[in-house]
Amino acid sequence: MRWHGDKLTDPDTSPRVFPRKMDKDALDFVKHRFPGIVGQPLLETRACHYELSASRNFIIDRHPDFSNVWIARGGSAEGFKFGPVSGEYVAQRVLGTQHDEQLAEAFSLKMSETVATSASSGGPVSSLTGVYTRKQAENGAKTYDKFCSACHTPASHSGPAFQATWNGRTAAELFEYIRTTMPNDNPGKLSRNQYRDLVAYMLQLNGMPPGPHALSNDPKQLQQIRIAVWAAR
């Protein structure tokens, strides 16, 4: 069984046995999938670990400082089962026979730039690394519905149009665009927190995942976040 989550764990010190309160979930799974062994005792539980890149995607890219070194990691909980396919793809990239630019961008290091990596590299933070909370996006959706939906639909701020306009730009630019154009009858009337939540909502609309850290309304911090999207295949 698999429980999804982003809680950081140390494989050397974290518990490998599930709490007994989770037995019911395991037994329910067995009942549904293996009815022939229903009623048999559950003798042991064991937890395994998986890694997630910041963008929840594979990282397959050339080292930024050493052109003869390639990085292939970030299994994102799917590394083992995709091994044969990803191994072939890595070999093609290294040999220069794979030329899908959209796929290369999806697996690039820049898509997983976080606050920690950007601090040392001087680069921006990727919007794919959980730069807003789910609650902020929910608040933004309510604000959008109340103040913006009379003139716009969510579809007008998502998909190819959003990608073409905002890919590579900063969250600060998106914040200022929303602040100076919405609501249509009185731009700038909302609070900075409301505009921040609208930014979070638009990031969510475009497939960028939430995270544990709240999005700031500080222009300097918003300037650090680069909107990173790739075209749908």
Q: How many domains, the chain? A: 2
220 and 147 part of one domain? yes
213 and 153 part of one domain? yes
Does the residue 205 lie in any domain?
yes
97 and 140 part of one domain? no
Residues 6 or more apart whose CB falls under 8 angstroms from that of 132 comprise: 199, 200, 203, 204, 210, 211, 214, 215
105 and 181 part of one domain? no
103 and 144 part of one domain? no
Of 119 and 151, more confident = 151
Torsion of CA 116, 121, 122, 123, to 10 degrees: -80
Please report which confidence band the pLDDT of residue 77 belongs to, taking 50, 70 and 90 as the band edges.
low
Does the residue 170 lie in any domain?
yes
Residues 6 or more apart whose CB falls under 8 angstroms from that of 141 comprise: 201
Parent domain of 80:
59-112
103 and 157 part of one domain? no
pLDDT at position 2, please? 64
Q: What is the 3-state secondary structure (H, E, C) of the chain?
A: CCCCCCCCCCCCCCCCCCCHHHHHHHHHHHHHHCHHHCCCCCCCCCCCCCCCCCCCCCEEEECCCCCCCEEEECCCCCCCCCHHHHHHHHHHHHHCCCCCHHHHHHCCHHHHCCHHHHHHHCCCEECCCCCCCHHHHHHHHHHHHHHCCCCCCHHHHCCHHHHHHHCCCEHHHHHHHHHHHCCCCCCCCCCHHHHHHHHHHHHHHCCCCCCCCCCCCCHHHHHCEECCCCCCC
Does the residue 50 lie in any domain?
no
Three-point CA angle 40, 2, 17, nearest 5°: 65
Question: Using alpha carbons only, how large is the chain's radius of gyration in Å?
Answer: 22
108 and 141 part of one domain? no
The percent of residues in the chain predicted with pLDDT above 90, rounded, is: 34
Spatial separation of the C-alpha atoms in residues 173 and 185, rounded to whole Å: 21
Report the chain's mean pLDDT, rounded to a whole number.
83
Structure confidence by residue, pLDDT tens digits, 27-63: 888 888 999 998 888 888 877 777 777 677 788 999 9
pLDDT at position 118, please? 46
Does the residue 20 lie in any domain?
no
153 and 205 part of one domain? yes
195 and 149 part of one domain? yes
215 and 153 part of one domain? yes
127 close to 226: Cβ distance less than 8 angstroms: yes
Spatial separation of the C-alpha atoms in residues 114 and 55, rounded to whole Å: 9
Structure confidence by residue, pLDDT tens digits, 167-222: 888 999 999 999 999 998 899 999 999 999 999 999 999 988 888 889 999 999 89
Does the residue 17 lie in any domain?
no
pLDDT at position 113, please? 66
Using the predicted structure, report yes or no on whether residue 79 has a pLDDT greater than 80. Answer: no
Please report which confidence band the pLDDT of residue 114 belongs to, taking 50, 70 and 90 as the band edges.
low
pLDDT at position 215, please? 94
165 and 222 part of one domain? yes
Does the residue 42 lie in any domain?
no
pLDDT at position 222, please? 93
